[in-house]
């Protein structure tokens, strides 16, 4: 069973700050997903990673397969980035089940 | 932009009643999922569906739950006899690729409240 840990659980920062959210998992994976959950509850996929690094706008996601660790970075943070960020991993046995972290609640203050 | 749509957005039901939650996945996607999030808790996998059959299910997905794709567009989750602990947000998702290697597209969720 894969354990997915995220840190921090809560993060409050000033607008413009550089944000880092971390995710660690215990068992080898096929892919790692970073998701954003809006205050209304809807979930949006930000990244799907199996190695290396991906960038989309102000968001950057990295993964270190050997260390079983991923980070999500937000540059020049903005109040609209306030949301819960969730890490989810799929096992490397080719099955369909995703295991989710508990999420990091990010609040960006203007 | 194509999107996954879910109905209803919110349903209130009495314990013991049957509930059907509906989802319309993105049209060219082949893999469909239901997830559940109890208030204040993490998202949990319920079931995956491919080629008109369940490909994997979690221990949560017991005999009270069923899924089907009745008409090639809708993807439904049925809870046969709801319990208080079924109160949660239910998310449908779809992807064109299997094995958790494709980007997931989520619906906005259906909030189920069991009284």
Residue B28: the pLDDT is: 85
Name the residue in chain B with its Cα closest to that of A102.
B42
Residues in Cβ contact with A56 at an 8 Å cutoff, skipping those fewer than 6 apart: A46, A47
pLDDT higher than threshold 90 for residue B25: yes
CB burial string A38-71: b at 16+ within 10 A, e below:
eeebbbebbbbbeeeeeeeeebbbbbeeeebebb
Q: Give the closest-approach CA distance of B80 to chain A in angstroms.
A: 23
d(CA B110, CA B65): 15
Cα distances (Å, whole numbers) of residue B16 to A103, A105, B83, B102: 32, 35, 6, 37
Q: Which residues of chain A make contact with B45, given a CB cutoff of 8 A? A: 96-100
pLDDT (0 to 100) of residue A18: 98
Please check whether residue A58 is in contact with residue A7, taking contact to mean a CB–CB distance below 8 angstroms: no
Q: Which residues of A touch B33 (CB under 8 A)?
A: 96
Which tokens sit at B87?
């109160």
Interface of A with B (CB under 8 A): 30-31, 33, 35, 40-45, 48, 50, 86, 88-91, 94-103
Please give the residue of chain B at the shortest CA–CA distance from A93.
Answer: B99
- Using an 8 Å Cβ cutoff, are A86 and A25 in contact? no
Q: What is the mean pLDDT of residues B86-107?
A: 85
Average pLDDT value over all residues in chain A:
92
The mean per-residue pLDDT over the stretch A42-69 comes to 94
Residues whose CB is less than 8 angstroms from the CB of residue B113 and which lie 6 or more positions away in sequence, other chains included: B10, B11, B12, B13, B87
Looking at residue B71, what is its pLDDT?
A: 84
- Across all residues in chain B, what is the average pLDDT? 92
Res A108: pLDDT: 97
């Amino acid at each position: 069973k894969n354990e997915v840990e995220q840190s921090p659980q809560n993060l409050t920062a000033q607008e413009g700050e550089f944000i880092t959210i971390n995710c660690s998992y215990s068992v080898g994976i096929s892919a790692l997903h970073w998701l954003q959950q809006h205050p209304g509850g809807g979930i949006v996929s930000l990244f799907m990673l199996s190695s290396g690094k991906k960038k989309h706008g102000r968001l950057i996601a990295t993964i270190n397969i050997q260390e079983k660790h991923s980070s999500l970075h937000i540059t020049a943070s903005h109040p609209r980035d306030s949301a819960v960020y969730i890490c989810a991993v799929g096992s490397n046995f080719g099955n369909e089940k995703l295991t989710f972290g508990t999420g990091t609640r990010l609040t960006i203050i203007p | 932009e194509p999107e996954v749509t879910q109905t209803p957005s919110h349903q209130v039901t009495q314990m013991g009643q049957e509930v059907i939650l509906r989802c319309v996945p993105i049209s060219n996607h082949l893999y469909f999922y239901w997830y559940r999030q109890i208030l204040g808790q993490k998202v949990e996998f319920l079931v995956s569906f491919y080629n008109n059959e369940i490909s994997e299910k979690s221990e949560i997905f017991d005999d009270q739950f069923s899924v089907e794709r009745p008409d090639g567009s809708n993807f439904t989750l049925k809870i046969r006899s709801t319990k208080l602990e079924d109160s949660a947000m239910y998310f449908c998702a779809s992807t064109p690729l299997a094995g958790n290697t494709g980007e997931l597209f989520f619906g906005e969720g259906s909030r189920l409240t069991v009284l």
